[in-house]
């Protein structure tokens, strides 16, 4: 039987850039919140040695796609660690894409994490989640958060995670049809990269902000106007380094009311926050599939 696997979206409830390391990687502090919304992947393992990606968004089918990169990385690590003995491990992967590209919702990183976690089961390569998270940094710094699958304050270059539990909220997430490159945001001359590092307790007590929001508002008047408009109804800000803006509500009805006020040409959705990734909930329900 072929199963569909969640590849959930996230929002950054806060995001601060606290420094730059000698290797040019930026150090951050962020609060990583999963949503019950996202892409889905169908992953069919085989022994062809090929990783094949299928999706309606043809622009995504290239060797740099995070799904292909993560599958090839898993195979490479499995061979080097003696988990598998041949290059014949392959897979057909079907992506149903709902998370907008360049939106700050972590779609590419989430796709990579789902690929790594599920293929690790299907290929029986038997890496721990911590091992998968460690070598996933080669592809992207958001990926460990998706692999470990819990609401968390994340520090360093994405490699230090402090799982926490938060009261569940409803979020209205709006995509202003703008793709923003993460690389361009981190290389912006307007990024100060020196927000003071704070303790976990202080981070959670202070008002939440995003160091990239000022940069985005300077460059894109649409984002500035969207944040201004949504902020008149509920706490609202940009997520990650992308263009999506979210508003926080205590109940779904309040989120729906504000959603109805948006211009018809704006894309958006309403989702509930979850403390455990939908991927991990699904893995738990299907754990019997992987018992030897």
- Active-site residue (options: 10, 75, 77, 169): 10
Query: Does residue 50 surpass a pLDDT of 90?
Result: yes
Annotated binding-site residue? 104: yes
Annotated binding-site residue? 108: yes
CATH number of the domain enclosing 217: 3.30.230.10
Q: What is the pLDDT of residues 67-100, one digit of tens each?
A: 999 999 999 999 999 998 888 999 999 999 999 9
Residue 1 confidence (pLDDT): 66
Question: Where in the sequence is the domain holding 273, given as residue range(s)?
Answer: 1-292
- Active-site residue (options: 75, 142, 169, 211): 142
Query: Does residue 63 surpass a pLDDT of 90?
Result: no
Task: State the average pLDDT over residues 103-129.
Answer: 97
Q: What is the pLDDT of residues 202-215, one digit of tens each?
A: 999 999 999 999 99
Q: Is 211 part of the annotated catalytic residue set?
A: no
What is the share, in percent, of the chain residues with pLDDT greater than 70?
99
Residue 256 confidence (pLDDT): 97
Annotated binding-site residue? 193: no
What is the share, in percent, of the chain residues with pLDDT greater than 90?
90
Euclidean distance between CA atoms 277 and 290, whole angstroms: 19
Task: Go through the chain and tell me how many residues it has.
Answer: 292
Euclidean distance between CA atoms 264 and 289, whole angstroms: 44
Annotated binding-site residue? 69: no
Indicate the helix (H) or strand (E) that contains 130: helix 129-136
Q: Is 251 part of the annotated catalytic residue set?
A: no
Task: Look over the chain and give the mean of its residue pLDDT values, rounded to a whole number.
Answer: 95
Residue 236 confidence (pLDDT): 97
Tracing tokens 């909930």 back to the chain, one arrives at 281
Instruction: Report whether 53 contacts 242 (CB < 8 A).
Output: no
pTM of the entire predicted model? 0.96
Number of domains in the chain: 1
Euclidean distance between CA atoms 241 and 185, whole angstroms: 6
Distances in whole angstroms, Cα of residue 263 to Cα of each of 43, 171, 231: 37, 18, 16
Instruction: Locate 264 and state its tokens.
Output: 């018809």
Strands 90-96 and 51-55 come out as parallel
Euclidean distance between CA atoms 246 and 32, whole angstroms: 14
Model confidence at 292, pLDDT cuts 50, 70, 90, reads low
Q: What is the pLDDT of residues 5-34, one digit of tens each?
A: 999 999 999 999 999 999 989 999 999 999
Instruction: Report whether 273 contacts 10 (CB < 8 A).
Output: no
């Amino acid at each position: 039987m072929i199963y569909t696997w969640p590849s959930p979206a996230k929002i950054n409830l806060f995001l601060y850039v606290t420094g730059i390391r000698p290797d040019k990687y930026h150090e951050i502090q962020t609060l990583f919140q999963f949503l019950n919304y996202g892409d889905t992947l169908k992953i069919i393992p085989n022994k062809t040695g090929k990783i094949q990606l299928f999706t309606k968004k043809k622009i995504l089918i290239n060797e740099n796609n995070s799904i292909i990169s993560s599958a090839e990385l898993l195979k490479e690590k499995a061979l080097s660690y003696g988990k598998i003995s041949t290059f014949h491990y392959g897979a057909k992967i079907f992506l149903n894409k709902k998370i907008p590209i360049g939106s700050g919702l972590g779609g590419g990183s989430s796709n990579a994490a789902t690929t790594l976690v599920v293929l690790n089961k299907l290929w029986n390569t038997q890496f721990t989640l911590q091992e998968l998270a460690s070598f996933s940094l080669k592809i992207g710094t958001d990926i460990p958060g998706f692999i470990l699958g819990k609401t968390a304050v994340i520090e360093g270059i994405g490699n230090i995670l402090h799982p926490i539990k938060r009261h569940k909220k409803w979020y209205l997430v709006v995509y202003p049809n703008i793709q923003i490159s993460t690389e361009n945001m981190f290389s912006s001359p307007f990024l100060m990269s020196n927000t003071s590092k704070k303790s976990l307790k202080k981070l959670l007590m202070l008002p939440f902000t995003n160091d990239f929001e000022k940069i985005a508002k300077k460059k894109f008047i649409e984002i500035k106007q969207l944040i201004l408009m949504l902020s008149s109804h509920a706490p609202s800000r940009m997520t990650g380094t992308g263009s999506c803006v979210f508003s926080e509500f205590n109940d779904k009805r309040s989120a729906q009311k504000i959603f109805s006020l948006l211009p018809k040409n704006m894309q958006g959705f309403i989702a509930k926050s979850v403390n455990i990734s939908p991927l991990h909930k699904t893995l738990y329900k299907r754990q019997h599939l992987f018992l030897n």
